[in-house]
Amino acid sequence: MATKKKDPRIVGGREPVLRLEEEDLLMAKHPGSRAGDVVVVVDVDKLDAELAKDKGHFVGPGGEGEIKGRVAGAHEFFDRAKRDRIPVHLTEVHLAGPKQTSVSISDGRHRLAAMRERGVKVLPVSVHRGEAEEIARRYGAQPESAGAAVTNVTKELGKAAQRKEEARRRAEQAEVEAERKDREKRLRPYVQEKRAREPPSPAAKPAVEVPSLLGAVKISAAPPKVRDPKDAGVELAVELEAHLGRVHLAEDAGVQLAHSPHTDNGNAIAHGGPPADPRRLC
């Protein structure tokens, strides 16, 4: 079975980007166009001759049938798009009439008129996939001229866009790193000065055993934390077993265990301390 030869005038793909070589202009489908639309490269004179039959919708030479200022605005946009490399939306064409013997434009008739005024002879347009072959047969450009006049640059632009995005990310990372180094450089003298004023941290004291009604309890004394260099007092964070809760020791007052709410009979639980307050017993 012979494979059907692909028509070079029909361009597939979800979002093709084309370059109109004669104008060096990028062109693409409108974002709001039908999902099933494809691109057909047409002969502008053939298409124009058919569109001229619809006098109420045709934009002819000299501004005939145009909305005032639209064709001039299209020319201005083409110039800006060429300079800024902005894709121009394709004119949308579809078959019309009771038996679909004619053709009509749903969007872009002023852009088509502007292209005609610029002397463009071969132009890509957006059509429904089911009508692509018929429109190409009736109004399509010559296959050899279609390939020379219109170039599919989707992959080329995709790679360029990827390179541009990677360059942007590298520049952004370099900027963040430069800001970090600058901040570090500015803060370094203050950090060094603060470290120079801080006294050296004393070594951790070994754990001690404190007698209690429940037996000897080991108390782990963590390294003292100096809240303020001028403050001579040192706090020791002391951890008791879970059922005894937490107590604090003060170095200048000696090691004395605070009252625990879990003792009974008001007995002292540390080094001859006073009996616990009965009113605090559980």
pLDDT the model gives residue 42:
96
What pTM value is reported for the model?
0.56
Mean pLDDT over each residue of the chain, to the nearest integer: 76
From residue 178, how far is each of 103, 167, 174, 185 by CA, in Å?
A: 60, 16, 6, 11
Pairing mode, strands 88-89 and 150-152:
unpaired
Query: Phi-psi bin for 24: left (phi > 0), alpha (psi -120 to 50), beta?
Result: left
Residues in the chain: 282
Q: What are phi and psi of 48, to 5 degrees?
A: -65, -40
pLDDT at 187 over 90: no
Residue 128 has pLDDT above 60, yes or no: yes
Q: Which pLDDT does position 221 carry in this prediction?
A: 52
pLDDT of residue 211: 59
User: What distance separates the 2 farthest-apart alpha carbons in the chain?
Assistant: 116
Q: Which pLDDT score is estimated for 257? A: 40
